[in-house]
Amino acid sequence: MLAARTLTESSPQSLSAAATGGGLQVSISNVRRDYGAVVAVDGVSLDIGAGEFVSLLGPSGSGKTTLLMMLAGFEQPQSGSITVGGLDVTRVAPNKRDIAMVFQKYALFPHMTVSENIAFPLLMRKVDKTERARKVAKALEMVKLEGYGARKPAELSGGQQQRVALARAIVFDPPVILMDEPLGALDKKLRQHMQIELKQLQRRLGATVIYVTHDQEEALTMSDRVAVLNHGKLMQYGPPRELYDRPADAFVADFLGEMNFIDGVVAAIDGGTGTVALAGGAVSAPVSPGLAKGDPVRVAIRPEFIELRPADAACEAASRAVVGECSGRTGITGTLAQVIFNGAIVVMAVELPDGSMVTASLNAHTAPNLAPGGTVTATWPVSAARLFPRGRA
């Protein structure tokens, strides 16, 4: 494996020169950053392909923004290295990296017009006036703000200001774009609209995008791959569907999407399937390597996999199974505690004998008409459940 070349101020090469009409590969190798006793990033390694859209996802304090700041050059790692396009940029100043940055609060110059804000990176790179005007016009067109060049930021809506920040980031054709929760200040509907526009824009540009967010839905919607961080450590890295369907641990399972957890103990193992004893009975679930009879576990099941019906209803088909009667399904019985109408979805909460709750997300048009207080059976495919170890009491 060839060592990465170091990008320096005197180097004839640059990231823009290394990019050939698209994005560049970014490699983060065993990077660590602490602030006294607080470890913000703890030995994180990531390989991001050229032209990929990768989200850094995690709760507050997980290290995602610190990692982004190290990529931008605003923070320095105490150990490890960062390469972009095969060039080592670990100790290179931010203005020498040719990496664009989009901040949550936009950071627009209030005294400048929209066009002047967008042109600023070109001015700093000493691009001539004619070329600046051409590139600014192109950037305005790409973010659908033609005709807004003469306005000041204060005359724009939040969504329009976000587009200006994006235009300023892409105007110099950067091979890598870093985004720090850029849609966080927008309302939900506008944020969802901008998610689609951002992804479409990234595909047209071909740039590598590294995107920080704490919004799980945003990460799943936009990303080619997602890196889940917690307490400075990388918990799992992969395509959204893989993380959602096959979370590596209980933290990832809980953080990505909605998840039910039911405490139990492994009562038996038969091949790759285990029987888990719960407070209100027993369920079946696939067993991962390392689990043994007697181990305390958490049964994890997504609400959308759960179906409900009255406890005494007969089995009509595999999709309407009585526990143990229909192949491929398992489940438990409890009391329907609450029914919540949420537009296209009805959320039903079932209280189990030990007082814990399990929720089911059902299509509002096909959900059974069940009243709170009744005894119901909740079933799901055996293959949809996952088992995670938990500490012994």
Going along the chain from its start, the domains and CATH numbers come out as 5-98+174-254 (3.40.50.300), 258-389 (2.40.50.100)
C-alpha 118/C-alpha 277 separation (Å) is 62
**pLDDT for position 307:** 92
Distance CA 312, CA 375 (A): 8
Q: Reduce the secondary structure of the chain to three states and give it as a string.
A: CCCCEECCCCCCCCHHHHCCCCCCCEEEEEEEEEECCEEEEEEEEEEECCCCEEEEECCCCCCHHHHHHHHHCCCCCCEEEEEECCEECCCCCHHHCCEEEECCCCCCCCCCCHHHHHHHHHHHCCCCHHHHHHHHHHHHHHCCCCCCCCCCHHHCCHHHHHHHHHHHHHCCCCCEEEEECCCCCCCHHHHHHHHHHHHHHHHHHCCEEEEEECCHHHHHHHCCEEEEEECCEEEEEECHHHHHHCCCCHHHHHHCCCCEEEEEEEEEEECCEEEEEECCEEEEEECCCCCCCCCEEEEEECHHHCEEEECCCCCCECCECCCCCCCCEEEEEEEEEEEEEECCEEEEEEECCCCCEEEEEEECCCCCCCCCCCEEEEEEEHHHCEEEECCCC
Burial of 113 (0-12, 13-18, 19+ CB in 10 A): middle
- Beta-sheet strand order (sheet of 357-363): 307-310, 375-381, 329-342, 345-351, 357-363
What pLDDT, on a 0 to 100 scale, did the predictor assign at position 247? 94
Confidence (pLDDT) at 313: 65
This prediction has a pTM of: 0.85
Q: Based on the number of CB atoms within 10 Å of its own CB, is 337 exposed (0-12), middle (13-18) or buried (19 or more)? A: middle
- Please name the residues in contact with 367: beta carbons below 8 A apart, sequence gap of 6 or more: 308, 346, 348
- What does the alpha-carbon distance between residue 366 and residue 383 come to, in Å, rounded to a whole number? 23
Q: How many CB atoms lie within 10 A of CB 308?
A: 25
Counting as low any pLDDT under 70, the low residues of the chain are 1-21, 313-327, 391-393
- Determine how many CB atoms are found less than 10 A away from the CB of residue 156: 18
CA atoms of 276 and 307, how far apart (whole Å): 19
CB-side exposure of 218: number of CA atoms within 13 Å? Answer: 26
Q: How many CB atoms lie within 10 A of CB 175?
A: 29
State residue 342's pLDDT score: 86
